[in-house]
Structure 1
């Protein structure tokens, strides 16, 4: 138990610290792909995926960990990932983003987190458990992409690395826009850790390395998996309700609690922590978004981390299909929440201007 607590909290705290300081927000990244035509966060995610894929499969090759891709419940994956993508826009952050922003003191994220944990628990062990398992029977036996084509996994990893390097190098070669900044108030390591703006690609490298570290640390406690947010989040609530630590307390629980701790430390040290209370409309949107996140992630078998970072790195159909439909769900919600209202407002302003000048 002590090992589980220490390594889970350590790994989670590292992840929470890094994503808070690097503002590693996949919800904003997916949204910006559609609204601002900015793909940098997607490329950052590819960096983290590629690094984790190389590291984890090296661990598998050396016998440090074991892994089986299993089956893919493709209908549940598609529908769940799409619903999850809609939910993260309403909630103002994905599952991991909600945990780390809660550590910054954002009350809206605490509200979203409550909805997310509640629905995840209801779907996994509660009244909606039959719904959660209803589409799981519609599955394809082979979830492994390399096995489907009968090719070595390292060919796909190499292809991913090449594609990632192409987009990263092309992005870094673009002319840089200088952003005015105030003179640094800190010097040396303190400035780098708590004040300097982190590049998303640098942040992604650290996230990929932490994702590799999670596998052997988790497996050492009997949990054969890497980073994961949805089930551990549900387990936190399930333990609080039942008190059954043997069933619900595992390495993943301390991972998500560590994310909260690491984000809090980073936010306090960088003077970014403060309690921010949302208005009623935002609070309702956050809670409903959290509900959709828990519902969708449970059906899809993972969130932006479980599917979008881990399952993609393991070269599974589930991971890449889920990632695509998460992005599609994000774009759908972004259209109705941002693009369409702005277009209407612009049209109304144009009509008003035309009326006043007529």
Structure 2
């Protein structure tokens, strides 16, 4: 790692790491059809099916690997933003519900939209761009006061107050063992649903990519003489950074997120082309643009308020045992299930 930093510098090493992690995530997410929205739709319809199995495999594999690395002192997440920084319980709850509603309306979360756009889906491309613009507005623009006010309703200090390990008094090894048991059950459930071994492996690969993101940024931080943020896969923040770097700056400042987004796009596109699944998809009579745009707005604002998207909070923050991340992903499930349940009974949202 020291040699890599000497050759590329801290920023270059982080960008390369982001590219590698992104490639892995893009390939495995496309192959497994990983999607939180799809899993919530199944549950809202009263079914426990293959889409839920894929999400459970990805989640438990990420939790198993990350907490396993922590238990062996290979990884330390105590100084990460998900744990150490001041958080917001109100932001996690409100933002999570908004994100869950939005991803049902837009038929995909931030990560799924990026994967679909890379596979030729123009609906996902347009929706993802709107999501990114709204997220930037919520972070530093005209929507930031509203986000700050909602987050300020119920703040939570960083450190032990946001660390589930400290709150529950359990060791990382215990979490790793419990998660590993959950992973085995999820794999058995997937096999019962007749999911192919290739898709099961790809679903686990999504969790591997999350763990790899945590480990490689931690390794770079340990080897660097500069302060390097330890992070893993998330999409709302990196997507806004990438877009702003392309349209508002004369040169791109390299970072993990700047490498991650194009890495995911290249990985997903390559996987889709290799499997013959790449094709252009447009808006149509059965895919009204207004529904997607409303969903994009809700997701963009909700993700910034909740502190992460379905992957940033749901997998990366969840595997780090961040209290607010777990609350956010729980709220995403609630918002998505309620929205789809209502959509099946009301005409204002087309049935998915």
Provide the TM-score with structure 2 as the length reference.
0.83
Distance, in Å, in 1 between the alignment partners of 2:140 and 2:17 is: 27
Per the alignment, residue 144 of structure 2 pairs with: 129
Query: Deviations for 1:46-93, whole angstroms, at most 9, x for unmatched residues?
Result: 332333233323434555443122344111100000000011111111
Per the alignment, residue 52 of structure 1 pairs with: 62
Per the alignment, residue 149 of structure 1 pairs with: 168
Aligned match for 1:120, one of 132, 135, 142: 135
Distance, in Å, in 1 between the alignment partners of 2:50 and 2:274 is: 27
User: In the alignment, is the contact (CA less than 8 A) between 1:19 and 1:203 conserved in 2?
Assistant: yes
SS at match of 1:135: helix
Q: How far off is 1:162 after superposition? A: 2.6
Q: How far off is 1:202 after superposition? A: 2.2
Per the alignment, residue 185 of structure 1 pairs with: none
What RMSD over aligned residues (CA atoms) do the two structures have, in Å?
2.7
Aligned match for 1:270, one of 263, 271, 275: 275
Structure with max Cα Rg: 1
Query: Does 1:13 pair with 2:23?
Result: yes
Cα–Cα, structure 1 residues 28 and 175, in superposed 2: closer, same or farther, change >3 Å? closer
Per the alignment, residue 169 of structure 1 pairs with: 188
SS at match of 1:151: coil
Cα–Cα, structure 1 residues 140 and 202, in superposed 2: closer, same or farther, change >3 Å? same
Bigger mean CA deviation after superposition, 301-310 or 278-287: 278-287
Bigger mean CA deviation after superposition, 145-154 or 292-301: 145-154
Per the alignment, residue 203 of structure 1 pairs with: 202
Distance, in Å, in 2 between the alignment partners of 1:250 and 1:231 is: 12
Distance, in Å, in 2 between the alignment partners of 1:154 and 1:103 is: 38
Cα–Cα, structure 1 residues 11 and 168, in superposed 2: closer, same or farther, change >3 Å? closer
Structural mapping, 1:209-220, within 5 Å: 209-219=208-218, 220=220
Q: How far off is 1:274 after superposition? A: 1.5
Per the alignment, residue 183 of structure 1 pairs with: none
Per the alignment, residue 85 of structure 1 pairs with: 100
User: In the alignment, is the contact (CA less than 8 A) between 2:120 and 2:281 conserved in 1?
Assistant: yes
Query: Does 1:250 pair with 2:266?
Result: no
Distance, in Å, in 1 between the alignment partners of 2:322 and 2:59 is: 12
SS at match of 2:155: coil
Bigger mean CA deviation after superposition, 32-41 or 104-113: 32-41
Distance, in Å, in 1 between the alignment partners of 2:299 and 2:270 is: 26
SS at match of 2:278: coil
Aligned match for 2:309, one of 284, 303, 307: 303
User: In the alignment, is the contact (CA less than 8 A) between 1:223 and 1:251 conserved in 2?
Assistant: no
Query: Does 1:27 pair with 2:37?
Result: yes
Bigger mean CA deviation after superposition, 51-60 or 230-239: 51-60
Distance, in Å, in 2 between the alignment partners of 1:307 and 1:326 is: 10
Query: Does 1:235 pair with 2:241?
Result: yes
Per the alignment, residue 76 of structure 2 pairs with: 66
Distance, in Å, in 1 between the alignment partners of 2:178 and 2:18 is: 32
Cα–Cα, structure 1 residues 47 and 22, in superposed 2: closer, same or farther, change >3 Å? closer
Structural mapping, 1:325-336, within 5 Å: 325-336=331-342
Query: Deviations for 1:187-223, whole angstroms, at most 9, x for unmatched residues?
Result: xxxxxxxxxx665432221111111111233342723
Q: How far off is 1:294 after superposition? A: 0.6
SS at match of 1:297: helix
Provide the TM-score with structure 1 as the length reference.
0.81
Distance, in Å, in 1 between the alignment partners of 2:194 and 2:106 is: 32
Distance, in Å, in 2 between the alignment partners of 1:276 and 1:341 is: 24
Aligned length: 323
SS at match of 1:66: coil
Unaligned runs of 5+ in 1: 178-196, 346-358
